[in-house]
Amino acid sequence: MNSSDTQAPVRLTKLTKASGCAAKIGPKTLSEVLSALPKFSAPELLVGLDTSDDAAVWKISDELAVVETLDFFTPVVDDPYLFGKIAATNALSDVYAMGGEPKFALNIVGFPSTIPPKVLQEIMTGGADRVKEAGAVLVGGHSITNDDPIYGLAVTGFVHPDKVRTNAGAKPGDVLLLTKQLGVGIINTAVKAEMATAAEKEEAILVMSSLNAPAKNVMDCFTVHACTDVTGFGLIGHSFEMAKGSGVTIELDVSGTAFLSGAKDYAGMGLIPGGAYRNREFVGDNLDPGSVEEVYLDLLFDPQTSGGLLFSIPEKECDAALSAFEHSGIKTAVSVVGKVLPEEEKLIRVV
């Protein structure tokens, strides 16, 4: 079932103040909260909270580890079916970022009692169709009544313990590949303001609704020192976490970075989601912005919804990886967005 067959009774994006991953609690606030929690460890816990990774990894045997994650957010588009599809894509991405394969998922639902149940059915159908496309199964979930509609998944995946990817292994001399264009938060802000063109909106939807499975599969053939997906903390925020976890400095190059059509223009108009300012506060004095135009910093701090995978790989493998992406049929733009340097005073440099 697709919502194009019926007219949605409401504009979902009008029911919330912030859309998609831009609704996330700011990374600085989140870091303060998490720092006060008890510390957990176990011999089987391969990846936990320490490195701000995308998912937890628990070793079952020498051949098998479980990847566990959950992710949900508020509507980023008005079409219920498409919203469900994008939210599920975003949740599944955490498993791919860890090098795993999704196996089963549970729904997470918050839904207003004032909206017809048919809308919720379409949201959940979009999510179910995306889970099926990922080769996983949907096995239940939990729902509550909530003023703001929210939807997402708890996802369980499998990975070989020796093939786990984290964001803490980047090495000086690596280059950084990003598998989707940036600017989703800015374009979605322009859509809410009814300023974005149909073509700009469609490009953003393509980015948000594209599974990261093909990108993960391409990079299985190369040396990946570190990986994360770029979502609510923006490229700079997630690069900052990678730099901290790896003990390096990351240099981001705006000249090589792929942006969505119109994103720079709308950023120049001030159509910046609030999450971008929270991301900037999080990085704080750890950023060396150089002489880069302010509009590019806004783009790099822009919170992404269902963004691409950020891979740190040896420079000598970069050309071959780009060629592999070119022949893979991936519809989103893959770009070289920076490189990894030995640790300096500032962990993020923009050129």
Q: What is the CATH superfamily name and number for domain 174-350? A: PurM-like C-terminal domain (3.90.650.10)
Instruction: List the structure tokens of 197.
Output: 């063109």
Residues of the chain with pLDDT under 50: 1, 3-6, 8
Domain with CATH 3.90.650.10 in the chain: 174-350
Res 49: pLDDT: 81
Q: Tell me how far apart the alpha carbons of residues 85 and 210 are, in angstroms, rounded to a whole number.
A: 9
Domain with CATH 3.30.1330.10 in the chain: 3-163
Identify the CATH class of 3-163.
Answer: alpha beta
Please say if 318 is a catalytic residue: no
Digit-coded pLDDT (tens) for 322-336: 999 999 999 999 999
- Can you give the length of the chain in residues? 351
Q: Tell me how far apart the alpha carbons of residues 26 and 22 are, in angstroms, rounded to a whole number.
A: 9
Q: Tell me how far apart the alpha carbons of residues 347 and 334 are, in angstroms, rounded to a whole number.
A: 24
Digit-coded pLDDT (tens) for 148-178: 999 999 999 999 999 999 999 999 999 999 9
Res 13: pLDDT: 86
Res 28: pLDDT: 76
Res 9: pLDDT: 60
Res 50: pLDDT: 81
Q: What is the 3-state secondary structure (H, E, C) of the chain?
A: CCHHHCCCCCCHHHHCCCCEHHHCCCHHHHHHHHHCCCCCCCCCEEECCCCCCCCEEEECCCCCEEEEEEEEEECCCCCHHHHHHHHHHHHHHHHHHCCCEEEEEEEEEEECCCCCHHHHHHHHHHHHHHHHHCCCEEEEEEEEECCCCEEEEEEEEEECHHHCCCCCCCCCCEEEEECCCECHHHHHHHHHCCCCCHHHHHHHHHHHHCCCHHHHHHHCCCCCCEEEECCCCHHHHHHHHHHHHHCEEEEECHHHCCECCCHHHHHHCCCCCHHHHHHHHHHHHHEECCCCCHHHHHHHHCCCCCCCEEEEEEHHHHHHHHHHHHCCCCCCCCEEEEEEEECCCCCEEEC
Digit-coded pLDDT (tens) for 207-222: 999 999 999 999 999 9
Res 20: pLDDT: 62
Res 22: pLDDT: 62
